[in-house]
Chains A and B, each alone.
Chain A
Amino acid sequence: MSDNSLADGCKAGDRAAMKALYERYYSPMLGVCLRYAVNYADAEDFVQDGFIKVFNDIRSFKGTGSLEGWIRRVIINSVLMQLRKSKKEYAYENMEIVMKGTVDELSESESDEKPFDVLELSQKEAVDIIQTLPDGFRKVLNLYVIDGYKHREIAELLDISVGTSKSQLNRARKLMKQKLIEHIKTKK
């Protein structure tokens, strides 16, 4: 069954179509949620809430773009909303104070000049490392680098300024590099 047929079925309230859509996109969307969550359980909650949102909003899918892309956007928005509601989120100001020293300790020469083999790292390991990032860093890094949002869009989504988004991304990158290098060293 094509994506558009699935979407039409879901619009008509067809449970079979909803089930097919859920089963087709559950795992990839769980992968998205794992990048934004701090653990697997949270990611599962996010994906459940996200699919409720998908089924509620399926009528707004016009069928002009890809269904998967549309679902991904809905899921990400739902995750960000959940994160905003949850108490797990650190305040940006506090997080910056906590992380400033750690990031600055990583010298540019050490982090930028060493060659890095991408093949040394699996996807799951990378996701595990992302999950250890502070919420603000993790969100901006995911949104900008992986999901392709612009700083302006991120600023709107997270209710922060564009400048804050950029600075968060810069610091997130530095911290992520540091954690990756440490991880590879530990593996060896």
Chain B
Amino acid sequence: MTNKDLDKILKTLEDFDPQAKPNWEAFVAGNEARLESTDKTIDQLTGKAAKSFTGIKYAAIMLTVIAGIFFIWYFSGPGSDVSIPQNAIPEAIQAPATLPNNNIDQPSIKEIIPSATDKPDVSREFLNESIIVDDLNTTSDTESIGGSSGIIDLPLIEEPLPISTAQSEKLVVIKITDTVYIKKTIIISDTLKVKKAPIKN
């Protein structure tokens, strides 16, 4: 027997068919779990995929986005939510302009820092900043700094403000370290920054 003879015999087996009867039901019953996973994959690839799963996924994404927006709004808003009762405002820094005809002894900023406005350097800084505030032309109940009366008026401050003055012979240093909330956020450090509040309808 040559290799050719052998190969001829073996080649006849290429289409060997034992004429066995397939049993689809038994096949499915025996491999249901594996076929189920196949169905899922096919469904996903043919676009019939689990719509409920997609819905849940989108709902979760939307909830996350909404929660994110809420937290951003809540924690980094213009400060309007940080409402501090008016009685918490120290009278010492109530601006005279808010009480124009008030006979109550309310010391003005000039009284708090009597020599600050007298000093050319300091007063110039304050006046420059008051111009900025005027330009904003805010409509809230906060009083602008630097009114037409020529008196430097501080806005209403809704939080106790530790303002301390240290006066040497010629120099007055104003230290305001905390954030001041005036419905608009005004941060006073070396310079005065006024953030315009959103207009409420």
Contacts and interface: CB of A to CB of B under 8 A. Distances in A.
B61 interface: no
B: interface residue count bin: 35 or more
A6 interface: no
Given A12-B42, A173-B3, A126 B18 contact: no
Given A56-B38, A173-B3, A124 B9 contact: no
Interface of B (DSSP majority class): helix
Given A48-B27, A48-B31, A52-B35, A176 B6 contact: yes
A127 B11 contact: no
A67 interface: no
Nearest to B11: A146
A5 to B, nearest CB: 16
B50 to A, nearest CB: 13
B1 A111 contact: yes
Interface residues of A, number: 41
B2 A22 contact: no
B31 A52 contact: yes
Contact of A23 (B6, B8, B24): B24
Interface of B: 1-3, 5-22, 24, 27, 30-31, 34-35, 38-39, 41-43, 45-46, 48
The 5 closest A-B pairs by CB, nearest first: A26-B22, A13-B42, A31-B16, A116-B1, A116-B5
10 contacts: A13-B38, A13-B39, A13-B43, A22-B27, A27-B17, A35-B16, A52-B35, A118-B9, A118-B12, A145-B7
